[in-house]
Amino acid sequence: MDTFVWSLLRTRGLSALWLLLLLSPTALALYNIGVGRADSTGPSAEIVFMGYAKLEQKGNGLHLRTFSRAYIIDDGAERFVFVNVDSGMMGHDIRQEVLRKLKTQFGDMYTERNVMISATHTHSAPGGYMLNVLFDLPTFGFARESLDAIVNGITKSIQRAHNAVVPGRIFIAHGKVLNVNINRSPQAYLQNPKSERDKYEDNVDKILTQIQFIGADDEPLGVINWFAVHPTSMNNTNHLISSDNVGYASILFEKMMNKNSAVGTGPFVAAFASTNLGDVSPNIRGPKCEFSGNNCSEQYTCPGKKEMCFASGPGKDMFESTSIIAHKLYQESARLWQSNEAVEVFGPIRAVHQYVDMPEQSAEFYNETTGKFENVHGCVPAMGYSFAAGTTDGPGSFAFEQGTTTPNIFWNAVRNFLAAPTESDIRCHSPKPILLATGRMKLPYLWQPKIVPTQVAVIGNVVIAGVPGEFTTMSGRRLREAIKKVVNNASSDETVVIVAGLCNIYSDYITTPEEYQIQRYEGASTIYGPHTLTIYLKQYRELAQAAIQGKSVPPGPAPPELLQSGVLTLVPPVLFDTPQWGRNFGDVIQQPPKVASPGDTVSAIFVAGHPRNNLMTESTFLSVERLEDDEVWISIATDADWETKFQWTRTNVILGSSQVTITWEIPQDVTPGEYRIRHNGYYRYVLGDVYPYYGVTNQFHVKVPAPNIRQRYYGH
């Protein structure tokens, strides 16, 4: 019977599945499910953050650790892995390194076809791992420590998920989150046809989609939430590693489910993953001129020479804004989890994957203006002028403005010095004026990818489309509708399509052809030309069709692996550490106060080594400890907790002297008692060896003030 069932499913797709479910509703209800999590935090000092392309935004500490969260789903015949990583982007070489490591342990079980790796897109994590020149240029080239941290974290999370596989069930639910996101390019969105815009209430998606994983014994296993918002609540003045709003939402959900477990531990794994977030900002107060507070111009510029047009979040600063957005995401996701709104997912798993050489692709496009179909092509990668203008989440440099469709003689001369676009390139990208002909730039190696991975996974009536970049709101909506149409033609059941963003490689933005015309930041960063989306719609329709029919697809031409051919780095190594005169590593320079209360922020300063000597992966640079039973110190917070901050400062560059400042914002629900702060680190001896050290502060008393009589009487 089993052989017959799977044979029928492979030949007839989802429509056959639903026939079988009607005959035997429980036959295919159970999947094999595994979840795993691992620390993927890169170097917290001296490496430029990925995302804002701001050279001076080097890390000097840690606020929230970054994690990789892996989910394995197996129906007995097919296996699919979804990985959510707290990182800015995902690189092809990272994925290949992960697959190589998995192959040594599991053979051909995990491949390009069934492993989908999605980046959250936090802009406050170390860069230097992308291996395309344009993306690593702001980080002074390749940083091996960054790449190794992410590769090892992803690999370990998949290994842990593999070792935790148990029988289970899958459910899907949808909720709505308000006052969390706005469209940062509303002018571009308005270029889309009114008839299309009228189908939707908002110019950004407000729907949160949640997939729940429950063991056959009803034990909660994990959850994935998809919601469209940029993790840019932490702005480009931040120098502390952070997983930003979606990362903190994951921590909040896991703390709810794992009770007393430390952050990053516990069996339940919760992810908040990226989707069509391309034009979506969490800075919901909108753009204002940073000094005057006046409204920005239509091009999001300000009159002052050095005055930028910034959008801000709902809080008094970026930390409070991050917390507010994270809590709103968490609250709706927790409500969905605890409600009875989820619907069970039934059916087989199918995964397909294909590499696509984008400049070589063509597709058919219906031109609403002419009322005719046109044959359109992809372009050799190039970035437009408005790319240099940045966004209201992080404005760019010089005098570039969003919405620029006219070239400048000076900047064209600078561009041509690096690499000149061909006349064909200029025509293909029109109306984008090309600022960087990245597809023609090959020194010291490729600046942007020409070949991208495309991937679709079907789990019953749920389709996950892994896309290699940032789809705008309407681009994501068109992709979902295109895939739905294909799948619904083969099944009587309504399909749920999830756009999983920034998967497997990074190829910048994907706007609609209409949005592309006015060349805001997102259009200028759509690197394969005005019909990038048109090509993707065709490609994902074909992948979805192949998946539901159980057909294989040709692998396509693989992108080059740049790590194997040598890379450029200008990131200096740590040479040696020396303690301050008369001090030892771990000595406390500044002690915390003797008494503190909830809401207070206590701090301590230690003589330190360089944090890059040891990234303390799956460990901690700090711990806040409470004295138990007058004899045992227990850790109640680490550098992965929201309430703590770890900040490193080089006090003498020549001598290699450093210090770290550790702060703890005492939570309102703290247990009164005796506390101390501990710092763990490593220093590099002048002859090259690395040695551990630690330091602890004096103990201090945390007291909880008793409520006054009036408060007690009125129950406040």
Query: Cα separation of 280 and 574, whole Å?
Result: 38
Q: In this structure, what DSSP letter does residue 27 have?
A: T
Q: Are 329 and 180 in contact (CB under 8 A)?
A: yes
Measured N-to-C along each axis, helices 2-12 and 14-23 cross at an angle, to the nearest 10 degrees, of 140
Q: Is 330 helix (H, G, I), strand (E, B) or coil?
A: helix
Q: Are 498 and 477 in contact (CB under 8 A)?
A: no
Strand positions, DSSP E, 42-165? 45-50, 58-62, 67-74, 79-85, 115-119, 125-126
Q: Are 507 and 469 in contact (CB under 8 A)?
A: yes
Q: Are 596 and 164 in contact (CB under 8 A)?
A: no
Q: Are 437 and 382 in contact (CB under 8 A)?
A: yes
Which residue is catalytic, options 44, 281, 323, 333?
A: 281
Query: Cα separation of 623 and 223, whole Å?
Result: 28
Query: Cα separation of 404 and 520, whole Å?
Result: 7
Residue 473 in tokens: 């709101």
Neighbour tally for 295: CB within 10 Å: 13
Residue 281 appears among annotated catalytic residues = yes
Kindly write down the DSSP assignment for every residue of 615-664, as one continuous string: --TTS-SEEEEEEETTTEEEEEEETTSTTEEEEEEEEETTTTEEEEEEEE
Query: Cα separation of 43 and 239, whole Å?
Result: 12
Residue 218 in tokens: 């009803």
Q: Are 415 and 433 in contact (CB under 8 A)?
A: no
Kindly write down the DSSP assignment for every residue of 421-475, as one continuous string: PPHHHHHHHTTSPEEE-GGG--SSS-SS-SEEEEEEEEETTEEEEE-SSEE-HHH
Query: Cα separation of 386 and 403, whole Å?
Result: 6
Query: Cα separation of 128 and 141, whole Å?
Result: 6
Closest to 373 (Cα-Cα) out of 538, 562, 215, 568: 538
Q: What is the 3-state secondary structure (H, E, C) of 404-421?
A: CCCCCHHHHHHHHHHCCC
Residues known to be catalytic: 281
